[in-house]
Chain A
Amino acid sequence: MYNLLMKELKLGVGPFFYAMPFLTGALMLIPGWLYFLVTLYFCFITVPNMFAGYKTQNDLIFTSMLPVTKKDSVKAKVSVVVLLELMHIAVASIYGLISTRLYPNVTYFFFPPSPGFWGLTFVMLAIFNLVFIVMYYKTAYKYGAPTIVSVTAAILFAGGAEWLGIQSSFVSDLFKGAGLDNLAAQYSILLAGIAIFAIFTIIAYYIAIKRFEKVEM
Protein backbone atom coordinates (compact mmCIF):
# COMPACT_ATOMS: atom_id res chain seq x y z
CA MET A 1 0.00 0.00 0.00
CA TYR A 2 2.85 2.38 0.88
CA ASN A 3 4.44 1.72 -2.52
CA LEU A 4 1.15 2.44 -4.27
CA LEU A 5 0.73 5.67 -2.35
CA MET A 6 4.23 6.72 -3.38
CA LYS A 7 3.41 5.79 -6.97
CA GLU A 8 0.35 8.06 -6.85
CA LEU A 9 2.24 10.92 -5.26
CA LYS A 10 5.18 10.69 -7.67
CA LEU A 11 3.46 9.78 -10.93
CA GLY A 12 -0.25 10.47 -10.58
CA VAL A 13 -0.17 13.90 -8.99
CA GLY A 14 1.66 16.51 -11.03
CA PRO A 15 3.69 19.15 -9.16
CA PHE A 16 1.08 21.76 -10.13
CA PHE A 17 -1.53 20.07 -7.95
CA TYR A 18 0.73 20.43 -4.91
CA ALA A 19 0.98 24.15 -5.65
CA MET A 20 -2.79 24.52 -6.10
CA PRO A 21 -3.65 24.73 -2.36
CA PHE A 22 -1.35 27.75 -2.07
CA LEU A 23 -2.86 29.44 -5.13
CA THR A 24 -6.50 28.80 -4.29
CA GLY A 25 -5.83 29.31 -0.59
CA ALA A 26 -4.70 32.86 -1.36
CA LEU A 27 -8.26 33.59 -2.47
CA MET A 28 -9.08 33.67 1.24
CA LEU A 29 -7.45 37.08 1.19
CA ILE A 30 -10.32 38.55 -0.83
CA PRO A 31 -12.33 40.35 1.85
CA GLY A 32 -15.83 39.01 2.49
CA TRP A 33 -15.73 36.59 -0.45
CA LEU A 34 -17.70 33.38 -0.88
CA TYR A 35 -15.10 31.19 0.79
CA PHE A 36 -16.72 27.86 -0.08
CA LEU A 37 -15.32 28.49 -3.55
CA VAL A 38 -11.76 28.21 -2.31
CA THR A 39 -11.96 24.48 -1.66
CA LEU A 40 -14.45 23.99 -4.48
CA TYR A 41 -11.62 24.87 -6.86
CA PHE A 42 -10.06 21.58 -5.84
CA CYS A 43 -13.20 19.84 -7.13
CA PHE A 44 -13.40 22.05 -10.25
CA ILE A 45 -9.77 21.86 -11.32
CA THR A 46 -7.56 19.40 -9.49
CA VAL A 47 -9.85 16.38 -9.53
CA PRO A 48 -10.83 16.32 -13.21
CA ASN A 49 -7.29 17.15 -14.33
CA MET A 50 -5.71 14.54 -12.14
CA PHE A 51 -8.12 11.85 -13.26
CA ALA A 52 -7.74 12.89 -16.88
CA GLY A 53 -4.03 12.27 -16.34
CA TYR A 54 -4.76 8.76 -15.09
CA LYS A 55 -6.83 8.14 -18.18
CA THR A 56 -4.36 9.44 -20.74
CA GLN A 57 -1.40 7.72 -19.10
CA ASN A 58 -3.22 4.37 -19.02
CA ASP A 59 -2.87 4.25 -15.26
CA LEU A 60 -5.62 1.66 -14.96
CA ILE A 61 -3.68 -1.01 -16.85
CA PHE A 62 -0.34 0.16 -15.50
CA THR A 63 -1.51 -0.30 -11.92
CA SER A 64 -3.36 -3.52 -12.65
CA MET A 65 -0.21 -5.16 -13.95
CA LEU A 66 1.66 -4.42 -10.73
CA PRO A 67 1.51 -7.05 -8.01
CA VAL A 68 -1.16 -5.24 -5.99
CA THR A 69 -4.75 -5.96 -5.00
CA LYS A 70 -7.60 -3.98 -6.50
CA LYS A 71 -8.54 -2.97 -2.98
CA ASP A 72 -5.15 -1.39 -2.36
CA SER A 73 -5.21 0.50 -5.61
CA VAL A 74 -8.55 2.05 -4.62
CA LYS A 75 -7.20 2.79 -1.17
CA ALA A 76 -4.18 4.59 -2.63
CA LYS A 77 -6.28 6.79 -4.93
CA VAL A 78 -8.79 7.67 -2.21
CA SER A 79 -5.92 8.45 0.17
CA VAL A 80 -4.38 10.81 -2.35
CA VAL A 81 -7.67 12.65 -2.83
CA VAL A 82 -8.11 12.96 0.94
CA LEU A 83 -4.52 14.06 1.40
CA LEU A 84 -4.92 16.84 -1.15
CA GLU A 85 -8.25 17.90 0.34
CA LEU A 86 -6.67 18.16 3.78
CA MET A 87 -3.84 20.16 2.28
CA HIS A 88 -6.31 22.54 0.64
CA ILE A 89 -8.23 23.05 3.87
CA ALA A 90 -5.10 23.41 6.00
CA VAL A 91 -3.53 26.01 3.73
CA ALA A 92 -6.80 27.86 3.22
CA SER A 93 -7.44 28.02 6.94
CA ILE A 94 -4.03 29.60 7.51
CA TYR A 95 -4.81 32.22 4.84
CA GLY A 96 -8.18 32.55 6.60
CA LEU A 97 -6.49 33.48 9.85
CA ILE A 98 -4.43 36.08 8.01
CA SER A 99 -7.55 37.38 6.28
CA THR A 100 -9.54 37.91 9.50
CA ARG A 101 -6.60 39.83 10.96
CA LEU A 102 -6.06 41.85 7.81
CA TYR A 103 -9.67 43.01 7.58
CA PRO A 104 -11.10 43.14 11.12
CA ASN A 105 -13.99 45.39 10.15
CA VAL A 106 -15.39 43.69 7.06
CA THR A 107 -19.10 42.97 7.07
CA TYR A 108 -19.56 39.42 5.89
CA PHE A 109 -22.50 38.65 3.62
CA PHE A 110 -21.24 35.06 3.29
CA PHE A 111 -19.64 32.94 6.00
CA PRO A 112 -16.34 34.29 7.32
CA PRO A 113 -13.54 31.81 7.94
CA SER A 114 -14.02 30.19 11.34
CA PRO A 115 -13.62 26.68 12.75
CA GLY A 116 -17.34 26.17 12.21
CA PHE A 117 -17.07 27.26 8.60
CA TRP A 118 -14.25 24.75 8.02
CA GLY A 119 -16.52 22.13 9.57
CA LEU A 120 -19.08 22.95 6.87
CA THR A 121 -16.34 22.75 4.25
CA PHE A 122 -15.50 19.25 5.46
CA VAL A 123 -19.15 18.28 5.01
CA MET A 124 -19.12 19.74 1.50
CA LEU A 125 -16.04 17.68 0.57
CA ALA A 126 -17.60 14.63 2.25
CA ILE A 127 -20.53 14.90 -0.17
CA PHE A 128 -18.15 15.47 -3.06
CA ASN A 129 -16.08 12.38 -2.17
CA LEU A 130 -19.08 10.15 -1.69
CA VAL A 131 -20.51 11.00 -5.10
CA PHE A 132 -17.28 11.28 -7.07
CA ILE A 133 -15.45 8.20 -5.78
CA VAL A 134 -18.49 5.95 -6.02
CA MET A 135 -19.36 7.09 -9.55
CA TYR A 136 -15.76 7.05 -10.79
CA TYR A 137 -15.17 3.44 -9.84
CA LYS A 138 -18.04 2.27 -11.98
CA THR A 139 -15.56 2.43 -14.91
CA ALA A 140 -12.33 3.52 -13.17
CA TYR A 141 -11.52 5.83 -16.07
CA LYS A 142 -14.51 8.05 -16.91
CA TYR A 143 -14.23 11.14 -14.78
CA GLY A 144 -16.52 13.62 -16.58
CA ALA A 145 -19.95 12.63 -15.33
CA PRO A 146 -18.69 11.88 -11.81
CA THR A 147 -17.12 15.35 -11.69
CA ILE A 148 -20.27 17.11 -12.89
CA VAL A 149 -22.58 15.28 -10.50
CA SER A 150 -20.28 15.50 -7.47
CA VAL A 151 -19.49 19.17 -8.06
CA THR A 152 -23.20 19.90 -8.42
CA ALA A 153 -23.92 18.11 -5.15
CA ALA A 154 -21.15 20.05 -3.40
CA ILE A 155 -22.40 23.37 -4.79
CA LEU A 156 -25.96 22.59 -3.71
CA PHE A 157 -24.73 21.97 -0.20
CA ALA A 158 -22.60 25.13 -0.14
CA GLY A 159 -25.40 27.20 -1.68
CA GLY A 160 -27.93 25.79 0.77
CA ALA A 161 -25.67 26.50 3.71
CA GLU A 162 -25.06 30.10 2.60
CA TRP A 163 -28.78 30.57 1.98
CA LEU A 164 -29.51 29.36 5.52
CA GLY A 165 -26.83 31.74 6.77
CA ILE A 166 -28.78 34.59 5.23
CA GLN A 167 -32.32 33.37 5.91
CA SER A 168 -32.01 31.89 9.36
CA SER A 169 -31.07 34.20 12.20
CA PHE A 170 -29.90 31.21 14.22
CA VAL A 171 -27.44 30.07 11.56
CA SER A 172 -26.42 33.64 10.83
CA ASP A 173 -25.71 34.24 14.49
CA LEU A 174 -23.78 30.99 14.82
CA PHE A 175 -21.48 31.55 11.84
CA LYS A 176 -21.38 35.33 11.51
CA GLY A 177 -22.42 36.81 14.83
CA ALA A 178 -21.94 36.07 18.50
CA GLY A 179 -21.52 32.35 17.71
CA LEU A 180 -18.06 33.10 16.38
CA ASP A 181 -16.86 33.68 19.94
CA ASN A 182 -18.50 30.49 21.22
CA LEU A 183 -15.47 28.27 20.79
CA ALA A 184 -17.24 25.18 22.08
CA ALA A 185 -19.89 25.50 19.38
CA GLN A 186 -17.32 26.34 16.70
CA TYR A 187 -15.08 23.38 17.44
CA SER A 188 -18.03 20.98 17.86
CA ILE A 189 -19.16 21.92 14.35
CA LEU A 190 -15.61 21.42 13.08
CA LEU A 191 -15.31 18.01 14.73
CA ALA A 192 -18.74 16.97 13.46
CA GLY A 193 -17.70 18.07 9.98
CA ILE A 194 -14.51 16.03 10.19
CA ALA A 195 -16.48 13.01 11.42
CA ILE A 196 -18.94 13.28 8.51
CA PHE A 197 -16.02 13.69 6.11
CA ALA A 198 -14.38 10.53 7.47
CA ILE A 199 -17.58 8.47 7.47
CA PHE A 200 -18.67 9.50 3.96
CA THR A 201 -15.22 8.90 2.53
CA ILE A 202 -14.93 5.48 4.15
CA ILE A 203 -18.37 4.51 2.81
CA ALA A 204 -17.30 5.71 -0.64
CA TYR A 205 -14.11 3.67 -0.35
CA TYR A 206 -15.97 0.44 0.41
CA ILE A 207 -18.53 0.92 -2.37
CA ALA A 208 -15.69 1.80 -4.76
CA ILE A 209 -13.86 -1.46 -3.96
CA LYS A 210 -17.03 -3.45 -4.69
CA ARG A 211 -17.52 -1.65 -7.98
CA PHE A 212 -13.88 -1.81 -9.02
CA GLU A 213 -13.83 -5.60 -8.56
CA LYS A 214 -16.26 -5.76 -11.48
CA VAL A 215 -14.34 -3.40 -13.74
CA GLU A 216 -12.60 -4.93 -16.77
CA MET A 217 -9.53 -3.41 -18.37
Chain B
Amino acid sequence: MLALEIKNLNKKYEHFQLKDVSFQLEKGYIMGFIGANGAGKTTTIKSILNLIRLDSGEIRIMGKDLIDHELELKQEIGSAFGDIAFYTRSKIKTLTKVIKPFYRNWDEEAYRSYLKKFNLNENKRISELSTGMKVKYRLALALSHGAKLLILDEPTSGLDPVARDQLLDIFQELVQDGEISILFSTHITSDLEKCADYITYIDNGRIINSAEKEAFIDTYRLVNGNADQLNDMEGKLIAYKKNSFGFTGLIHARDLDPSWDVRSALPSLEDIMIYFSKKESAYV
Protein backbone atom coordinates (compact mmCIF):
# COMPACT_ATOMS: atom_id res chain seq x y z
CA MET B 1 0.00 0.00 0.00
CA LEU B 2 1.17 3.50 -0.73
CA ALA B 3 1.36 5.90 2.18
CA LEU B 4 1.85 8.83 -0.12
CA GLU B 5 1.36 9.25 -3.81
CA ILE B 6 2.11 12.49 -5.61
CA LYS B 7 1.19 12.87 -9.23
CA ASN B 8 2.15 15.68 -11.58
CA LEU B 9 2.17 18.57 -9.13
CA ASN B 10 2.48 21.92 -10.79
CA LYS B 11 2.68 25.20 -9.01
CA LYS B 12 3.92 28.40 -10.52
CA TYR B 13 5.28 31.31 -8.53
CA GLU B 14 6.76 34.46 -9.91
CA HIS B 15 10.36 33.29 -9.55
CA PHE B 16 9.99 29.60 -9.05
CA GLN B 17 8.01 26.68 -10.35
CA LEU B 18 7.26 23.10 -9.32
CA LYS B 19 7.20 21.15 -12.55
CA ASP B 20 5.39 17.84 -12.83
CA VAL B 21 6.51 16.63 -9.42
CA SER B 22 5.63 12.95 -8.98
CA PHE B 23 6.82 10.33 -6.53
CA GLN B 24 5.43 7.77 -4.16
CA LEU B 25 6.22 6.40 -0.75
CA GLU B 26 5.48 2.82 0.20
CA LYS B 27 3.91 2.30 3.64
CA GLY B 28 6.39 1.52 6.40
CA TYR B 29 9.43 3.14 4.86
CA ILE B 30 11.52 6.26 5.25
CA MET B 31 11.96 8.51 2.27
CA GLY B 32 14.58 11.17 2.24
CA PHE B 33 13.64 14.19 0.20
CA ILE B 34 16.79 15.98 -0.84
CA GLY B 35 17.61 19.06 -2.77
CA ALA B 36 19.56 22.27 -2.45
CA ASN B 37 18.09 25.28 -0.68
CA GLY B 38 15.29 26.67 -2.80
CA ALA B 39 14.91 23.50 -4.89
CA GLY B 40 11.25 23.11 -3.96
CA LYS B 41 11.33 20.78 -0.95
CA THR B 42 9.28 22.97 1.35
CA THR B 43 6.84 23.91 -1.40
CA THR B 44 6.22 20.23 -2.08
CA ILE B 45 5.81 19.53 1.63
CA LYS B 46 3.42 22.43 2.02
CA SER B 47 1.32 21.04 -0.78
CA ILE B 48 1.19 17.66 0.96
CA LEU B 49 -0.20 19.46 4.02
CA ASN B 50 -2.60 21.39 1.80
CA LEU B 51 -1.13 24.71 2.87
CA ILE B 52 -0.89 25.95 -0.70
CA ARG B 53 -3.18 25.65 -3.68
CA LEU B 54 -1.89 23.65 -6.58
CA ASP B 55 -2.20 24.71 -10.19
CA SER B 56 -2.62 21.06 -11.09
CA GLY B 57 -1.78 17.61 -9.82
CA GLU B 58 -3.01 15.08 -7.36
CA ILE B 59 -1.97 14.02 -3.88
CA ARG B 60 -3.19 10.80 -2.34
CA ILE B 61 -2.46 9.77 1.22
CA MET B 62 -3.25 6.21 2.35
CA GLY B 63 -5.04 5.88 -0.97
CA LYS B 64 -7.36 8.83 -0.35
CA ASP B 65 -7.43 12.10 -2.22
CA LEU B 66 -6.05 14.88 -0.01
CA ILE B 67 -8.46 17.61 -1.09
CA ASP B 68 -11.57 15.44 -0.69
CA HIS B 69 -10.55 13.92 2.63
CA GLU B 70 -8.47 16.70 4.14
CA LEU B 71 -9.82 16.60 7.69
CA GLU B 72 -9.79 12.84 7.94
CA LEU B 73 -6.26 12.63 6.56
CA LYS B 74 -4.93 15.37 8.80
CA GLN B 75 -5.88 13.14 11.72
CA GLU B 76 -3.33 10.69 10.37
CA ILE B 77 -0.56 13.07 9.41
CA GLY B 78 2.03 14.33 11.80
CA SER B 79 4.25 17.19 10.74
CA ALA B 80 7.22 19.14 11.94
CA PHE B 81 8.96 22.10 10.44
CA GLY B 82 12.53 22.30 11.62
CA ASP B 83 12.68 26.06 11.35
CA ILE B 84 9.20 27.22 12.36
CA ALA B 85 8.12 27.26 15.97
CA PHE B 86 4.64 28.05 17.25
CA TYR B 87 3.53 29.75 20.43
CA THR B 88 7.06 29.67 21.76
CA ARG B 89 6.18 31.43 25.01
CA SER B 90 3.69 28.76 25.97
CA LYS B 91 4.52 25.75 28.09
CA ILE B 92 4.45 22.28 26.57
CA LYS B 93 1.65 21.47 28.99
CA THR B 94 -0.51 24.36 27.79
CA LEU B 95 0.09 23.68 24.13
CA THR B 96 -0.67 19.98 24.43
CA LYS B 97 -3.88 20.70 26.31
CA VAL B 98 -5.00 22.91 23.43
CA ILE B 99 -3.90 20.52 20.68
CA LYS B 100 -5.10 17.16 21.94
CA PRO B 101 -8.89 17.68 21.73
CA PHE B 102 -8.57 18.07 17.96
CA TYR B 103 -7.54 14.45 17.58
CA ARG B 104 -10.06 11.68 18.00
CA ASN B 105 -7.41 8.98 18.48
CA TRP B 106 -5.40 10.85 21.09
CA ASP B 107 -3.63 8.36 23.34
CA GLU B 108 -2.69 10.03 26.62
CA GLU B 109 -0.70 7.04 27.79
CA ALA B 110 1.39 7.00 24.64
CA TYR B 111 1.92 10.75 25.00
CA ARG B 112 3.22 10.33 28.56
CA SER B 113 5.57 7.58 27.50
CA TYR B 114 6.95 9.63 24.59
CA LEU B 115 7.52 12.61 26.89
CA LYS B 116 9.53 10.31 29.11
CA LYS B 117 11.36 8.66 26.27
CA PHE B 118 12.30 11.99 24.68
CA ASN B 119 13.14 13.56 28.03
CA LEU B 120 10.63 16.37 27.54
CA ASN B 121 9.69 18.36 30.61
CA GLU B 122 6.06 19.46 30.36
CA ASN B 123 6.69 22.61 32.33
CA LYS B 124 9.23 23.97 29.90
CA ARG B 125 8.30 26.64 27.44
CA ILE B 126 8.76 25.93 23.75
CA SER B 127 11.36 28.70 23.57
CA GLU B 128 13.43 26.88 26.18
CA LEU B 129 13.67 23.75 24.07
CA SER B 130 16.66 23.08 21.85
CA THR B 131 16.01 22.60 18.13
CA GLY B 132 16.17 18.84 18.52
CA MET B 133 13.80 18.89 21.48
CA LYS B 134 11.30 20.93 19.48
CA VAL B 135 11.28 18.31 16.76
CA LYS B 136 10.93 15.60 19.40
CA TYR B 137 7.95 17.42 20.90
CA ARG B 138 6.26 17.58 17.50
CA LEU B 139 7.00 13.89 17.05
CA ALA B 140 5.53 13.08 20.48
CA LEU B 141 2.36 14.95 19.52
CA ALA B 142 2.12 13.26 16.12
CA LEU B 143 2.70 9.79 17.51
CA SER B 144 0.20 10.30 20.33
CA HIS B 145 -2.57 11.11 17.91
CA GLY B 146 -1.76 7.99 15.94
CA ALA B 147 -0.20 9.64 12.90
CA LYS B 148 0.62 7.11 10.21
CA LEU B 149 2.47 9.46 7.92
CA LEU B 150 5.09 11.85 9.23
CA ILE B 151 5.97 14.79 7.05
CA LEU B 152 9.06 16.46 8.38
CA ASP B 153 10.67 19.50 6.84
CA GLU B 154 14.36 19.63 7.64
CA PRO B 155 13.94 18.07 11.09
CA THR B 156 17.67 17.49 11.45
CA SER B 157 19.04 20.83 10.29
CA GLY B 158 20.59 22.79 13.10
CA LEU B 159 21.10 19.71 15.27
CA ASP B 160 24.44 18.61 16.61
CA PRO B 161 25.74 15.23 15.36
CA VAL B 162 24.67 13.41 18.51
CA ALA B 163 21.13 14.78 18.49
CA ARG B 164 20.89 14.05 14.76
CA ASP B 165 21.97 10.49 15.21
CA GLN B 166 19.46 10.04 18.02
CA LEU B 167 16.66 11.41 15.92
CA LEU B 168 17.56 9.16 13.00
CA ASP B 169 17.51 6.15 15.32
CA ILE B 170 14.05 7.19 16.45
CA PHE B 171 12.89 7.41 12.84
CA GLN B 172 14.12 3.90 12.17
CA GLU B 173 12.44 2.57 15.28
CA LEU B 174 9.16 4.17 14.28
CA VAL B 175 8.92 2.52 10.87
CA GLN B 176 9.92 -0.92 12.19
CA ASP B 177 6.36 -2.18 12.59
CA GLY B 178 5.50 -1.18 9.07
CA GLU B 179 2.61 1.06 10.14
CA ILE B 180 4.30 4.44 10.07
CA SER B 181 5.91 6.03 7.04
CA ILE B 182 8.19 9.04 7.07
CA LEU B 183 8.99 11.62 4.45
CA PHE B 184 11.69 13.96 5.57
CA SER B 185 13.43 16.65 3.68
CA THR B 186 17.01 17.52 4.31
CA HIS B 187 20.09 18.83 2.67
CA ILE B 188 22.32 16.86 5.01
CA THR B 189 22.92 13.84 2.84
CA SER B 190 24.73 11.80 5.50
CA ASP B 191 21.39 11.55 7.36
CA LEU B 192 19.96 9.71 4.43
CA GLU B 193 22.90 7.41 4.04
CA LYS B 194 22.19 6.37 7.63
CA CYS B 195 18.48 5.84 7.60
CA ALA B 196 16.55 6.40 4.38
CA ASP B 197 15.04 3.52 2.41
CA TYR B 198 14.11 5.68 -0.54
CA ILE B 199 15.53 8.86 -1.93
CA THR B 200 13.73 11.51 -3.90
CA TYR B 201 15.89 14.20 -5.33
CA ILE B 202 14.42 17.52 -6.40
CA ASP B 203 16.34 20.19 -8.23
CA ASN B 204 14.98 23.50 -9.42
CA GLY B 205 11.37 22.38 -8.97
CA ARG B 206 11.79 19.11 -10.88
CA ILE B 207 12.19 15.57 -9.59
CA ILE B 208 15.50 14.28 -10.92
CA ASN B 209 15.14 10.80 -9.52
CA SER B 210 13.07 8.93 -6.95
CA ALA B 211 14.15 5.42 -6.13
CA GLU B 212 15.24 2.93 -3.50
CA LYS B 213 18.47 4.26 -1.98
CA GLU B 214 20.96 1.75 -3.39
CA ALA B 215 19.30 1.83 -6.78
CA PHE B 216 19.31 5.62 -6.66
CA ILE B 217 23.05 5.75 -6.08
CA ASP B 218 23.64 2.94 -8.55
CA THR B 219 22.04 5.00 -11.30
CA TYR B 220 25.14 7.18 -11.35
CA ARG B 221 28.90 6.82 -11.47
CA LEU B 222 31.58 9.22 -10.42
CA VAL B 223 34.32 9.15 -13.03
CA ASN B 224 37.94 10.35 -13.04
CA GLY B 225 39.95 10.79 -16.18
CA ASN B 226 42.44 12.90 -18.04
CA ALA B 227 41.83 15.75 -20.44
CA ASP B 228 41.74 13.50 -23.56
CA GLN B 229 39.17 11.25 -22.01
CA LEU B 230 37.12 14.31 -21.13
CA ASN B 231 36.93 15.20 -24.83
CA ASP B 232 35.50 11.76 -25.61
CA MET B 233 32.86 11.75 -22.98
CA GLU B 234 32.03 15.39 -22.33
CA GLY B 235 28.62 15.15 -24.01
CA LYS B 236 27.58 12.25 -21.82
CA LEU B 237 28.60 13.73 -18.47
CA ILE B 238 25.92 15.25 -16.26
CA ALA B 239 28.53 17.73 -15.04
CA TYR B 240 32.24 17.74 -14.32
CA LYS B 241 34.97 19.65 -12.57
CA LYS B 242 38.40 20.11 -14.08
CA ASN B 243 41.48 19.68 -11.92
CA SER B 244 45.21 19.52 -12.50
CA PHE B 245 45.10 15.79 -13.29
CA GLY B 246 42.14 15.95 -15.62
CA PHE B 247 38.58 15.93 -14.46
CA THR B 248 36.05 14.39 -12.10
CA GLY B 249 32.47 14.12 -13.26
CA LEU B 250 29.12 12.48 -12.75
CA ILE B 251 27.59 10.29 -15.40
CA HIS B 252 24.53 8.07 -15.74
CA ALA B 253 25.67 4.46 -15.23
CA ARG B 254 23.94 3.50 -18.48
CA ASP B 255 25.99 6.09 -20.40
CA LEU B 256 29.31 4.80 -19.15
CA ASP B 257 31.19 3.22 -22.04
CA PRO B 258 33.82 0.64 -20.89
CA SER B 259 36.01 1.53 -23.92
CA TRP B 260 36.73 4.94 -22.35
CA ASP B 261 38.78 3.18 -19.74
CA VAL B 262 38.19 5.77 -17.02
CA ARG B 263 38.18 5.13 -13.30
CA SER B 264 34.61 4.98 -12.02
CA ALA B 265 33.12 4.61 -8.58
CA LEU B 266 29.77 4.86 -6.87
CA PRO B 267 29.12 8.48 -5.96
CA SER B 268 27.87 9.63 -2.59
CA LEU B 269 24.51 11.40 -2.38
CA GLU B 270 26.41 14.60 -1.87
CA ASP B 271 28.32 14.09 -5.12
CA ILE B 272 25.05 13.57 -6.95
CA MET B 273 23.57 16.73 -5.50
CA ILE B 274 26.63 18.81 -6.23
CA TYR B 275 27.05 17.73 -9.84
CA PHE B 276 23.37 18.11 -10.62
CA SER B 277 23.29 21.62 -9.25
CA LYS B 278 26.43 22.36 -11.27
CA LYS B 279 24.65 21.19 -14.38
CA GLU B 280 21.76 23.45 -13.58
CA SER B 281 23.94 26.49 -13.11
CA ALA B 282 25.79 25.74 -16.37
CA TYR B 283 22.54 26.34 -18.23
CA VAL B 284 21.73 29.59 -16.50
Contact = CB atoms under 8 A, between A and B. Distances in A.
B258 interface: no
Contacts of A11: 87, 90, 94-95, 98
Interface residues of A, number: 19
Interface of A: 3, 6-7, 10-11, 57-59, 61-62, 64-69, 214, 216-217
Contacts of B103: 67
B74 A216 contact: no
A13 to B, nearest CB: 12
B102 interface: yes
B86 A64 contact: no
A68 to B, nearest CB: 7
Contacts of B87: 11, 57, 59, 62
Given A58-B84, A58-B86, A61-B84, A10 B74 contact: no
Interface of B: 46, 49-53, 70-72, 74-75, 79, 81, 84-90, 94-95, 97-99, 101-103
Given A11-B90, A11-B95, A216-B51, A67 B85 contact: no
Q: Enumerate the 6 nearest inter-chain pairs by beta-carbon distance, A residue then B residue, closest first.
A: A67-B74, A217-B51, A62-B86, A216-B52, A3-B101, A57-B87
A69 B130 CA distance: 31
Contacts of B95: 11
Given A58-B85, A65-B74, A216 B102 contact: no
Most buried by A among B51, B87, B89, B90: B87
B49 A64 contact: yes
Contacts of B74: 65-67
23 contacts: A3-B101, A6-B98, A7-B98, A7-B99, A10-B98, A11-B90, A11-B95, A58-B85, A59-B87, A61-B81, A64-B49, A64-B50, A65-B49, A65-B74, A65-B79, A66-B74, A66-B99, A66-B102, A67-B102, A69-B70, A69-B71, A216-B51, A216-B53
B71 A67 contact: yes
A167 to B, nearest CB: 49
A110 to B, nearest CB: 40
Contacts of B97: 10
A76 B85 CA distance: 22
Contacts of A10: 94, 97-98
Contacts of A214: 53
A159 to B, nearest CB: 38
Contacts of B51: 61, 64-65, 216-217
Given A10-B97, A216-B53, A217-B51, 15 more contacts: A6-B101, A7-B98, A11-B87, A11-B98, A57-B87, A61-B84, A61-B86, A62-B86, A64-B49, A65-B79, A67-B70, A67-B102, A67-B103, A68-B71, A69-B70
A217 B46 contact: yes
Contacts of A66: 74, 99, 102
Contacts of A217: 46, 51-52
Nearest to A58: B86
Nearest to A67: B74
A59 B98 CA distance: 13
Given A11-B90, A61-B86, A216-B52, A68 B102 contact: yes
Nearest to A56: B88
Nearest to A8: B98
B261 to A, nearest CB: 53
Contacts of B46: 217
Nearest to B50: A64
Nearest to B71: A67
Contacts of A3: 101-102
Nearest to B101: A3
Contacts of B102: 3, 66-68
B62 to A, nearest CB: 14
A59 B102 CA distance: 16
